[in-house]
């Protein structure tokens, strides 16, 4: 007869595991002998080895009892079911690992690959990381609002980067966070933006439905103004010239211009 320690050793498990199997009913707990010790026979060793083998194969303990009591056909069917469940769990874990790998890159959090690629292109143009972080946060919000059209929007942004004026604009905006007040380059930014807006009007792109509601546009514009010390002045200069907005550019009628705007 065997002690619990000897039983565990023969079956290749710990004493703690044996006691756990007792508690959940997988391994019958023998009566104590006259000395107060539990003793085990060869049948207990065999059963414990079978339990350990099934558990090591990935069979949930809740199903081990069922498989131990099953006939050959039922056992084979049960094993197939466990295998199917394990394959599903493996796929789930692989998907989780893929998501974690994307999240480790930082920008993949809440951003589709098309936007990440666009931000990387900006980095390649020498745009400062501080500005890219601002733009990234805006794209996170936009992608959440128009998930089905974000790739098309980004494709258009890539086309715009083929324009030297757009590249120059990004170059200026990238360093604008450190400009002093009334820096003359703010007017240069306004000049470039106006040229880009005129081309957009000529191409019929201003006023087109972008799928974003007005309240969300206001949120994006206000976020931009709060994040840049020169944004308010830049928008004022553009409005003086007949343009309004940042996220969604609008042509302002001449009689709608604000006469109190500061000069550019």
Mean pLDDT calculated for residue range 228-253: 84
The values of phi and psi at residue 244, to 5°, are: -135, 140
Of 16-20, 93-97, 151-155, 252-256, which gets the smallest average pLDDT?
A: 252-256
Q: What is the pLDDT of residues 3-22, one digit of tens each?
A: 999 999 999 999 999 999 99
The values of phi and psi at residue 182, to 5°, are: 60, 25
By the 8 A CB rule, do 116 and 108 touch? yes
Q: What is the DSSP letter of 251?
A: E
CA 27 – CA 66 distance, rounded (Å): 13
Q: For residue 209, what pLDDT is reported?
A: 58
Q: What is the DSSP letter of 109?
A: T
pTM above 0.85, yes or no: no
The stretches of the chain forming alpha helices (DSSP H) are 4-11, 15-23, 42-56, 61-68, 72-104, 113-124, 129-145, 150-160, 164-175, 185-202, 214-227, 231-240
Tokens 């709060």 sit at which residue?
Answer: 226
Q: For residue 111, what pLDDT is reported?
A: 83
At residue 164, does pLDDT exceed 60?
A: yes
Q: What is the pLDDT of residues 48-90, one digit of tens each?
A: 998 999 888 888 888 888 888 888 888 888 888 888 888 888 8
By the 8 A CB rule, do 130 and 177 touch? yes
By the 8 A CB rule, do 223 and 242 touch? no
Q: What is the pLDDT of residues 194-230, one digit of tens each?
A: 999 888 888 887 665 566 778 888 888 888 888 777 8
How many other C-beta atoms can be found within 10 angstroms of the C-beta atom of residue 260? Answer: 6
How many angstroms from the chain centroid is the CA of residue 186? Answer: 35
Per the structure block, which two tokens stand in for 260?
A: 């109190």
């Amino acid at each position: 007869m065997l002690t619990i320690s000897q039983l565990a050793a023969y079956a290749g498990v710990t004493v703690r595991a044996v006691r756990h199997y007792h508690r959940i009913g997988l391994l019958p707990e023998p009566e104590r002998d006259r000395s107060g010790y539990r003793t085990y026979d060869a049948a207990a060793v065999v059963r414990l080895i079978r339990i350990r083998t099934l558990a090591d194969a990935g069979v949930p303990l809740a199903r081990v009892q069922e498989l131990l009591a099953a006939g050959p056909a039922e056992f084979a069917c049960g094993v197939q079911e466990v295998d199917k469940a394990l394959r599903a769990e493996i796929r789930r874990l692989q998907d989780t690992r893929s998501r974690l790998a994307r999240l480790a890159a930082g920008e993949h959090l809440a951003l589709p690959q098309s936007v990440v690629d666009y931000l990387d292109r900006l980095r390649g143009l020498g745009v400062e990381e501080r500005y890219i972080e601002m733009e990234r946060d805006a794209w996170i919000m936009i992608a959440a609002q128009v998930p089905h059209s974000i790739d098309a929007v980004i494709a258009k942004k890539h086309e715009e980067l083929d324009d030297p004026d757009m590249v120059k604009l990004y170059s200026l905006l990238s360093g604008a966070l450190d400009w002093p007040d009334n820096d003359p380059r703010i007017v240069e930014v306004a000049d470039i933006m106006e040229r880009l807006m005129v081309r957009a009007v000529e191409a019929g792109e201003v006023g087109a439905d972008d799928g974003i509601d007005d309240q969300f546009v206001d949120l994006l514009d206000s976020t931009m103004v709060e994040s840049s010390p020169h944004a308010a002045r830049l928008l004022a200069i553009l409005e003086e010239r007949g343009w309004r907005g940042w996220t969604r550019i609008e042509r302002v009628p001449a009689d709608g211009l604000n006469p109190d705007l500061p000069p550019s």
